[in-house]
Amino acid sequence: MTTISPIGVLLVDDQQATLWGLGQLIEGEWPHMSVAGKACDRDTALRLAVTAKPDVILLDLDLDGESSLDLLPELFAVCQAQVLVCTCLRDRYLHEQALRDGACGVVLKDGPAALLLEAITMAYQRRSASTAKLL
């Protein structure tokens, strides 16, 4: 009997209420998705990217006044997760820069929850396809 593991999602946001809400949304999708960890700062995000081995990292662009664009290369250096930016910032330049820096997509926080869940699934499928090519 084959058991399918849920998509492990690492949540990275400096707002505790947002982390809680996203956590509730993701856990509500069990057994399809689960929260691999929650981080509210750069150091915790990097540590959890290594130890939790997430499939997808949901990353806010603004971490307590610092741009998360600088964090992208560090995340890619320590794990193979797909990074999906989840932000309230509507700056198209920042969105495009995140994509150029390796993020697989950008979703707005005020968008429909179903869109965010679909984006996580698509990011995971992209990761699975990339991993399969390596084997």
pLDDT of residue 125: 93
Torsion, Cα 100 123 59 54, to 10 degrees, reads -120
Q: Can you tell me whether residue 104 is helix, strand or coil?
A: coil
| pLDDT digit string, tens, across residues 29-83 | 999 999 999 999 999 999 999 999 999 999 999 999 999 999 999 999 999 999 9
Other C-beta atoms lying within 10 Å of the C-beta of residue 31: 10
pLDDT of residue 126: 86
Q: Which CATH architecture has domain 7-134?
A: 3-Layer(aba) Sandwich (3.40)
What confidence score (pLDDT) does residue 1 get? Answer: 47
The residue type of 41 is D
Contact 85, 106 (CB under 8 A): yes
Sketch the domain layout of the chain as residue ranges: 7-134
pTM of the entire predicted model? 0.92
| Rounded percentage of the chain residues whose pLDDT exceeds 90 | 88
Going by C-alpha positions, the residue among 135, 98, 131, 124 that lies closest to residue 36 is: 124
pLDDT tens sequence across 72-122: 999 999 999 999 999 999 999 999 999 999 999 999 999 999 999 999 999
Q: Are 25 and 58 in contact (CB under 8 A)?
A: no
N-to-C CA span, the chain = 23
CA-closest candidate to residue 59, choices 90, 24, 88: 88
In this predicted structure, the answer to whether residue 134 has a pLDDT above a threshold of 80 is no
